Amino acid sequence: MLKISVHLLLNPAKYSPTGEPRFEIVLKESTTVGRLFKNLSIPLKPDKVILVNGRQARPDRVLKHEDLVVVFPPMAGG
């Protein structure tokens, strides 16, 4: 089993199991970012920035014990 830290910077009340933006979750070995999103009912659209341990990650990235996953909403520049 893996213990993952998650920081949601998008609607934590809707997607976080605790209602808080930061939480920990226990997952099965070999869980991907995409599977984490499915477990949390977060739509997997390309409009989000996903970081794992400070590096941009794709949905097929396999998570490891004690990874930190941060999810940002879409951003616009100006």
Q: Where does the pLDDT of residue 78 fall: very low under 50, low under 70, confident under 90, or very high at 90 and above?
A: low
Predicted pLDDT at 47? 81
Question: Would you say 60 and 1 are in contact if contact means Cβ atoms under 8 Å apart?
Answer: no
**Rounded distance, CA 74 to CA 65, Å?**
27
pLDDT of residue 4 exceeding 90? yes
Domains and CATH numbers, the chain: 2-72 (3.10.20.30)
pLDDT of residue 77 exceeding 80? no
Quick: pLDDT tens for 33-67: 999 999 999 988 878 899 999 999 999 999 999 99
